[in-house]
């Protein structure tokens, strides 16, 4: 049993100052431990805080209290208390995150978006390119699109670029927020296959999967956030 990630006693409230200080209590006393090779599917009705929880695990949202412990390069780091550069360091080499939407950078071609995480780790341009091409080919992204900025891509094309970007490096933790939402059946199956490969390598996966087929294929365990909240 190799634990990769541990969320302890997470509470999250949003205070909307522009709406008269309205409080949204989203997460209460959430505990989750994830081991290498596991895939935990977050479940519960929409609006219960599944994406919020994933964002907290990624260090994108800050919980009111609790700890998020990440096993990073041989040591445990609590990202709730960590310095910004430590979180960036963790994202560079330990946690991959796939959001529902690609943040497109004008002028940067798809292939470079995919290569970037590897380049930041110091791999040669040539090596990064080969791996990016391999992955984009597997994800059936038409070769004519590789050198184009994804600004004009369809939702499904953008999502595949997004996935390739996070699957190009064998992160030990993968966070997936609806990774197949805008894909057709054929590409969905390929993504499932790629994530299964990551699990076999020992990646700890936490995800929100709306698609039942995808969820059932990938999940080794379900984690219901609504039950967690009342319990």
Partner 1 sequence: MTHLKEPLLKVMGVTKYFGDRVGCRDISFELWPGEVLGIVGESGSGKTTLLNTLSFHLEPTRGTILYWMEEEGPVNVGQLPESKKRHLMRTEWGMVRQNPREGLRMRVSAGANIGERLMAIGVRHYGRIRAEVQRWLERVEIDTDRANDLPETFSGGMLQRLQIARNLVSRPRLVFMDEPTGGLDVSVQARLLDLLRALVAELHLSLIIVTHDLGVVRLLSHRLLVMRQGEIVESGLTDQVLDDPHHPYTQLLVSSVIQA
Instruction: Enumerate binding residues for partner 1 (CB under 8 A).
Output: 14-18, 55, 59-62, 84-89, 105-108, 119-120
Q: Which is nearer to partner 1, 61 or 169 (CB)?
A: 61
Cβ(164)–Cβ(117) under 8 Å? no
Q: Which is nearer to partner 1, 165 or 215 (CB)?
A: 165
DSSP 104: P
Least Cβ distance, residue 119 to partner 1 (angstroms)? 8
Least Cβ distance, residue 224 to partner 1 (angstroms)? 24
Q: Which is nearer to partner 1, 107 or 212 (CB)?
A: 107
* Phi-psi group of 162: left, alpha or beta (phi > 0 → left; psi -120 to 50 → alpha; rest → beta): alpha
Q: Which is nearer to partner 1, 109 or 202 (CB)?
A: 109
Number of other residues whose CB lies within 10 A of the CB of residue 186: 8
Q: Which is nearer to partner 1, 105 or 130 (CB)?
A: 105
Least Cβ distance, residue 98 to partner 1 (angstroms)? 15
Least Cβ distance, residue 10 to partner 1 (angstroms)? 14
What does the longest C-alpha to C-alpha distance in the chain come to? 54
Least Cβ distance, residue 18 to partner 1 (angstroms)? 6
11 class by beta-carbon count within 10 Å (0-12 exposed, 13-18 middle, 19+ buried): middle
Token pair belonging to 231: 């319990």
CA distances to 4, 51, 79, 137, 149 from 69, in Å: 8, 18, 6, 35, 36
Number of other residues whose CB lies within 10 A of the CB of residue 52: 21
């Amino acid at each position: 049993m190799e634990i990769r990630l541990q969320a302890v006693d997470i509470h999250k409230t949003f205070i909307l100052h522009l709406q008269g200080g309205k409080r949204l209590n989203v997460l209460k006393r959430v505990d989750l431990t994830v081991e290498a090779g596991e895939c935990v599917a977050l479940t519960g009705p929409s609006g219960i805080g599944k994406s919020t929880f994933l964002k907290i695990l990624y260090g994108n949202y800050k919980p009111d209290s609790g700890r998020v412990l990440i096993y990073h390069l041989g040591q445990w780091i609590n990202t709730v208390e960590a310095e910004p550069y430590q979180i960036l360091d963790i994202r560079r080499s330990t946690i991959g995150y796939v959001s529902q939407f690609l943040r497109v950078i004008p002028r940067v071609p798809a292939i470079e978006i995919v290569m970037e995480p590897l380049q930041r780790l110091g791999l040669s341009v040539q090596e990064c390119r080969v791996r990016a091409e391999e992955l984009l080919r597997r994800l059936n992204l038409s070769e004519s699109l590789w050198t184009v900025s994804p600004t004009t891509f369809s939702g499904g094309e953008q999502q595949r670029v997004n996935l390739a970007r996070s699957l190009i490096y064998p992160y030990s933790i993968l966070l997936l927020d609806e990774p197949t939402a805008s894909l057709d059946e054929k590409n969905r199956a390929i993504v499932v296959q790629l994530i299964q490969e990551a699990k076999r390598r020992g990646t700890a996966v936490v995800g929100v999967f709306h698609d039942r087929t995808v969820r059932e294929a990938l999940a080794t365990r379900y984690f219901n956030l609504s039950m967690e909240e009342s319990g």
